[in-house]
């Protein structure tokens, strides 16, 4: 196998026996290198990290397999061809770079609603043998029946401490959070069963292929509350109103869900504040002020 970029050679264990003739670097994420693997049959996609956090790839693979098992036919999830602790090889998705075909947004909403009817026994990780991790961040994913406490104590408060400690978020944000903490159950919304969530559902982790089919990629899946995915979809945009309307028709959200969006957006905002700084710290503060009213 050859690579068009000698600085991004793939680990041999990831490609051996797959008939790969050439690895072409393509646009990847912030921390990973991505490749199109050319071969005689269908091309493949590979993602590698030089020094990933322990267990990160295992958690992603488990998420992909869980989503692939439970997603309806209209919602694709790429098959895991091979993986190691440093990378993943997946089936190739030929992405449509133009405008999605009519109906793709509504179809995605209905498909996600159906996926969100997949329920587990407790909130937390997909399997006890997996490390507690959502993306590159360590988190306690041990099973619990208490979703509001999970969200506050295992996600929001630890990330707030990390963000304030790193100087990425003003201490005033931590003070506002403590004002809101007694309302954690109200802010988490109506009680619902543990739901299989993608966990990082921004627009870049949803693809539409050349045939108009929607796909889910790069999950941080766990058993959570479905408003996790809805709030993430609204954080950076990229999902049309047809999508949300179709979702609501197929699996209506509890009243007041829009008012709860800032609470559910706090974890990703805090993660981005820790990683990137910039205006994310101010966005955290604005979300808290909206919740305080």
Residue with tokens 């205006």: 279
Strands 214-216, 75-76: pairing is parallel
Helix, strand, coil % in the chain, rounded to nearest 5: 45, 20, 40
Residue 260: half-sphere exposure toward Cβ, Cα within 13 Å: 22
* Plot region of 233 (φ>0 → left; ψ -120 to 50 → alpha; else → beta): alpha
What are the φ/ψ torsions at residue 90 (nearest 5 degrees)? -125, 160
Q: Return d(Cα 216, Cα 201) in angstroms, integer.
A: 8
Decide if 282 is catalytic: no
Residue 19: DSSP 8-state: T
Q: Is 123 helix (H, G, I), strand (E, B) or coil?
A: strand
Q: Classify the C-alpha dihedral 277-280-284-285 as positive or negative.
A: positive
Residue with tokens 């069963």: 193
**Across the strands, what pairs with 35?**
25, 46
Per DSSP, the residues of 110-166 read HHHHHHTT-B-SSBB-S-TTS-SEETTEE-----BS-HHHIIIIIIIHHHHHHHHHT
> Which is the catalytic residue, given 200, 209, 218, 229?
200
Pick from 99, 150, 88, 246: which is nearest to 233 by CA? 246
Residue 56: half-sphere exposure toward Cβ, Cα within 13 Å: 18
C-alpha dihedral over 235, 147, 118, 272, to 10 degrees? 30
What are the φ/ψ torsions at residue 271 (nearest 5 degrees)? -60, -45
The catalytic residue positions are 200
């Amino acid at each position: 196998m050859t690579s068009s970029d000698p600085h991004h050679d793939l680990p041999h264990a990831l490609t051996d026996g797959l008939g790969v003739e050439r690895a072409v670097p393509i646009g990847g994420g912030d921390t990973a290198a991505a490749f199109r693997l050319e071969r005689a049959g269908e091309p493949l996609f590979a993602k590698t990290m030089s020094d990933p956090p322990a267990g990160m790839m295992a958690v992603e693979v488990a998420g992909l397999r869980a989503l692939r098992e439970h997603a309806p036919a209209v919602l694709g999830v790429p098959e895991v061809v091979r993986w190691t602790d440093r990378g993943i090889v997946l089936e190739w998705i030929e992405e449509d770079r133009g405008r999605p075909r009519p109906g793709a947004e509504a179809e995605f909403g209905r498909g996600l609603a159906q996926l969100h009817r997949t329920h587990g026994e407790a909130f937390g990780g997909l399997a006890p043998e997996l490390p507690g991790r959502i993306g590159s961040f360590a988190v306690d994913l041990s099973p619990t029946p208490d979703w509001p406490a999970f969200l506050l104590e295992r996600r929001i408060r630890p990330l707030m401490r990390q963000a304030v400690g790193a100087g990425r978020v003003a201490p005033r944000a931590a003070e506002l959070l403590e004002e809101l903490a007694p309302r954690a159950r109200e802010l988490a919304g109506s009680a619902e069963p543990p739901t299989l969530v993608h966990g990082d559902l921004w627009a870049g982790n949803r693809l539409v292929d050349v045939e108009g089919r929607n796909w889910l990629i790069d999950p941080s899946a766990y058993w959570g509350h479905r408003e996790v995915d809805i709030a993430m979809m609204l954080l950076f945009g990229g999902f049309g109103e047809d999508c949300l309307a179709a979702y609501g028709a197929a699996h209506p959200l509890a009243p007041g869900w829009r008012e709860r969006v800032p609470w559910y957006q706090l974890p990703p905002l805090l993660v981005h504040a820790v990683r990137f700084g910039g205006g994310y710290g101010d966005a955290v503060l604005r979300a808290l002020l909206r919740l305080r009213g």
